[in-house]
Structure 1
């Protein structure tokens, strides 16, 4: 039996909404969190298994960077805007169920690849279908949680990284170590197929703008076109700086997520099982901890004001710059993993803070398209170019330390640059 619709909200109901969120919305958030855990698993699996894949297909670091980053990011970007426009027009629950079913099936197909090109095409299919996962969920969250609770909700949503990390340890570490990388990819696609059914059967579409004061007028507005959405991004200085800051933060985060397994296996003698645990700890558990705690604390500190969310984002990016450099230069594997895990925890605070600010300054009728635009940039320039540029720099530097220096280069550029955009965004946020 499906959950009930979200009722319209009038101005007199706003105070009650701020005080309580219906249990059905927390349930829906839990389902979306599990779905995004599959997103995390499917994205990270290729990084965990990349060393046996590299050996089987005789790949260089640029080819690895293309497989783990740019190919995924480019296909994500190509599909992102069309799917984003769909989000503002169609039933989002059904759309999300369809998307998770597709990307899970493509992950399974990745395990059947007989060549580098076939694996690359399968990963591009995963990227294209995952383009709608986060924007659809964020749009639903904005209509299930009031503005004062959205960073908390988004932080809980990103707990998916911890769940995905557990799954990646079991599948990417244990299964790959004992049964090979193909078996790991085949198994990784199964949970998403099940969750697609659960979502479709048990969660109902909420009304658009239902959590806004005066929701009747909000829900009457038609979905925004691409021109209106682009004007919103292009003419709103805060929105532009959020876009740039999140994209650059993502590039730093993706550098660790994509290359940490190779880094610890090459420089610290980790096995594939140990490397899977390392990336799960850093990008999964610590990333989720940063999102959850950061989302809650940001809601408390910001008190609904985008400016304070930007201040938090700038501070944690500067701190992440120092811990990232220290981790890459650490003399032992355990210290390196610990410092890079701390880096991920700090950096992941940015996402609930920045996405909470974005949802607060975007009208309900364009949140899907705007979220998708943000995801396109973060995946093309962040998850795409970030890991790819590490591979390019590594091949260019040459020598046995090339990967270390390449990772330091990318993160030392991305995190401080992101902090600059958040500082500039904080200056304009008070006017929104």
Structure 2
């Protein structure tokens, strides 16, 4: 037995029992809801210039409209994910999608800034636990050796949803007004919220072995929640992932406004160009996750090495990009930087899955989502808006990539402790009287 791994028992990979065709159906529907999640969240970015002009808003107030969603996701993801783990993930996901879709429709009906802020608050409430519970559902129906790939691919849905939200939202807003942009996103989410529980069934994603209960899944109430933060490396994965998403999330939110101000692009054109760059980021998220699975199967600490490389690489490329003159070369380098900016999502998700018990994976990914939102997706757009009011958006963008260096430092700290921590978790698993998975 290698020092860094524990032997398979034959009962620690419940996803291997799920029919592969049905597993991909679950993935497709869960991915579709994630698209809706981010379409509803990021359509706002495409109409920033229109709202700024119509309601005479400062950049800080615009940033708050974006940040309030991520803030609520960060604050509520843990308790709502815990409830979903206990009372049924499928029903919970359908309810979440209904709430955020109706709230998005409310954004289109808002007549003034406080009403819009309240509607965005409710969007955040609805979306709070979707990412964590959704990825827990996806990971539960696939073999565990696919975790980094699936985590990267699933979380890339956020990027693709951002693409659709900004591109389609910008196009609809340019031709029909910004209110219809919100209505279009809401309609898509409501349709999927209706279909999801009709096709994805709780019993089908938790199969039995020879008539016995699924051995790999212990009752969630019997798994101590301290397992979520019982090692230095898993804490490093949470914090490093959140800091790195400060960079990628900020660029996604403010890029349409950057193009509108410094390239004189109209709302629809800025949305399309931003969407293309975000699409590149989503492709990078998938590619980086696949690379992690390929290179790290027999050398788990490489996940941290790759996360460090992605963080430093995105910092260098984006710092260079925002120091270049405005033009095509700058946009190309921004695209290269964004290809790496979210690349840590797959490795970080795999680290969290490997270092926490399967029955509380929904809650574990809620903790990861908490870090991603409080440290990254909420703080980034808001602080950048404040800096933009004081220094200008171009100058603020020159400072944002430096946070990637802090993320790299945290991942390095976590790497130093990973091998010891994985053994500690393995010893804990083997002494439990419940049949939970053995991390590898």
Mark yes or no: TM-score above 0.5. yes
Aligned: 1:254 with 2:254: no
Matched residue, 1:322 = 316
Q: Deviations over 1:123-178 (max 9, x none)?
A: 11111110111111111122112221111222221342464255335521211111
Q: Contact conserved, 1:238 with 1:429, CA < 8 A, in 2?
A: yes
1:335 positional shift: 2.6
Matched residue, 2:5 = none
Matched residue, 2:429 = none
Matched residue, 2:153 = 156
- How far apart, CA to CA, are the structure 1 residues paired with 2:377 and 2:147? 24
1:75 positional shift: 1.8
Q: Return closer, same or farther for 1:370/1:91 CA change in 2, 3 Å cut-off.
A: same
Q: Which stretches in structure 1 are left out of the alignment for 5+ residues? A: 1-9
- How far apart, CA to CA, are the structure 1 residues paired with 2:374 and 2:266? 30
Matched residue, 2:338 = 344
- How far apart, CA to CA, are the structure 2 residues paired with 1:159 and 1:237? 27
- How far apart, CA to CA, are the structure 2 residues paired with 1:299 and 1:19? 21
1:191 positional shift: 0.8
- How far apart, CA to CA, are the structure 2 residues paired with 1:184 and 1:345? 27
Structural mapping, 1:231-250, within 5 Å: 231-250=226-245
Q: Contact conserved, 1:165 with 1:281, CA < 8 A, in 2?
A: no
1:32 positional shift: 0.8
Question: SS state of the match for residue 88, structure 1?
Answer: helix
Which residue, 13, 29, 32 being the options, matches 1:31? Answer: 29
Matched residue, 2:85 = 88
Which residue, 368, 371, 390 being the options, matches 1:396? Answer: 390
1:79 positional shift: 1.8
Q: Contact conserved, 2:66 with 2:253, CA < 8 A, in 1?
A: yes
Question: SS state of the match for residue 362, structure 1?
Answer: coil
1:368 positional shift: 1.3
- How far apart, CA to CA, are the structure 2 residues paired with 1:288 and 1:210? 35
Aligned: 1:98 with 2:89: no
Q: Contact conserved, 1:138 with 1:154, CA < 8 A, in 2?
A: yes
1:215 positional shift: 8.5
Which residue, 415, 420, 426 being the options, matches 2:404? Answer: 415
Q: Return closer, same or farther for 1:38/1:315 CA change in 2, 3 Å cut-off.
A: same
Which residue, 368, 372, 377 being the options, matches 2:371? Answer: 377
- How far apart, CA to CA, are the structure 2 residues paired with 1:88 and 1:14? 19
Task: Choose 324-333 or 363-372, whichever is displaced more.
Answer: 324-333
Aligned length: 411
- How far apart, CA to CA, are the structure 2 residues paired with 1:308 and 1:39? 31
1:430 positional shift: 1.4
Matched residue, 2:438 = none
Q: Deviations over 1:333-353 (max 9, x none)?
A: 333322222222102211111
Question: SS state of the match for residue 430, structure 1?
Answer: helix
- How far apart, CA to CA, are the structure 2 residues paired with 1:162 and 1:390? 20
- How far apart, CA to CA, are the structure 1 residues paired with 2:71 and 2:166? 27
Question: SS state of the match for residue 356, structure 2?
Answer: coil
Which residue, 417, 425, 433 being the options, matches 1:428? Answer: 417
Task: Choose 304-313 or 139-148, whichever is displaced more.
Answer: 304-313
- How far apart, CA to CA, are the structure 2 residues paired with 1:195 and 1:304? 39
Question: SS state of the match for residue 219, structure 1?
Answer: coil
1:224 positional shift: 5.7
- How far apart, CA to CA, are the structure 2 residues paired with 1:263 and 1:17? 44
- The TM-score with structure 1 as length reference comes to 0.89
Matched residue, 1:366 = 360
Q: Contact conserved, 2:34 with 2:131, CA < 8 A, in 1?
A: yes
Matched residue, 2:144 = 147
- How far apart, CA to CA, are the structure 2 residues paired with 1:358 and 1:418? 16
Aligned: 1:42 with 2:40: yes
Question: SS state of the match for residue 408, structure 2?
Answer: helix
Aligned: 1:132 with 2:122: no
Q: Contact conserved, 2:296 with 2:303, CA < 8 A, in 1?
A: yes
1:380 positional shift: 2.1
- How far apart, CA to CA, are the structure 1 residues paired with 2:80 and 2:182? 26
Question: SS state of the match for residue 158, structure 1?
Answer: helix
Aligned: 1:174 with 2:171: yes
Q: Return closer, same or farther for 1:224/1:332 CA change in 2, 3 Å cut-off.
A: farther
Matched residue, 1:113 = 110
- The TM-score with structure 2 as length reference comes to 0.87
- How far apart, CA to CA, are the structure 1 residues paired with 2:222 and 2:258? 44
Q: Which stretches in structure 2 are left out of the alignment for 5+ residues? A: 1-7, 423-440
